[in-house]
Amino acid sequence: MMARATLGGMAPFADSLDLGRLQLSAGEGRRLDLEVGIDPFDYGGQRYAVEPARIPVRLDISRTTGSGFALRLRFDARLDGPCMRCLGEATPTVEVDAREVDQPGSGDELTSPYIEDGELDLRGWARDALALATPAQVLCREDCAGLCPVCGEDLNEVGPDHAHEPEPDPRWAKLSELKLD
Ligand SMILES: [Zn+2]
Ligand SMILES: [Zn+2]
């Protein structure tokens, strides 16, 4: 069942929003504080849950001249999944500030994929905007030391002194066998 915000006792939890029902005239704007749920998403080969289950979002809607809309969506969400360096738990907070313009009849570049027949797909937009705002490297902490490339130990736990004897160079081994008279 999709939650849908309606005018008159605006439901704060919304997957989609009927923009036409706001009955904004050209140049008029409206700010809505809503809540949206975002499904877990795959990123960099890992899966990340998105918290909280109901994310408070701020949606600014402006009616443009003609029958278009300019939208701005802002929210913070916390990801929960593996650190890309050490595979421990990473729970970074991602700040999202996304904009969309939908201006029908003005050419392809000004139509939003999230607006169809005046209906805003808030859940889809929020998910994609979050994925775009997520850093390329999701880390447990900024200076995560990662795993030892030789033995796979978590370098955050074993400490900076962790090291391995360098493998003896086989050419030196051969040399040491030579008997020099
Ligand atoms: Zn890490
Ligand atoms: Zn090691």
Average of per-residue pLDDT across 128-146: 95
| C-alpha–C-alpha distance, residues 152 and 163, integer Å | 12
113: Cβ contacts below 8 Å, ≥ 6 apart: none
pLDDT at 42 over 70: yes
Distance 162 CA to ligand 1 centre (A): 16
User: Which ligand places an atom closest to the C-alpha of 145?
Assistant: 1
pLDDT attached to residue 2: 57
Neighbours of ion ligand 2 (CB under 5 A): 148, 150-151, 153
pLDDT at 7 over 60: no
Distance 100 CA to ligand 2 centre (A): 48
User: Which of 29, 27, 25, 2 has its CA nearest to residue 13?
Assistant: 2
Per-residue pLDDT tens digits for 57-109: 999 999 998 779 999 999 999 999 999 999 999 999 999 999 999 988 766 66
Q: What is the mean pLDDT of the chain?
A: 88
pLDDT attached to residue 160: 80
Name the residue with higher pLDDT: 25 or 12. 25
pLDDT band at 16 (very low <50, low <70, confident <90, very high): very high
Q: What is the 3-state secondary structure (H, E, C) of 31-44?
A: EEEEEECCCCEEEC
pLDDT attached to residue 14: 86
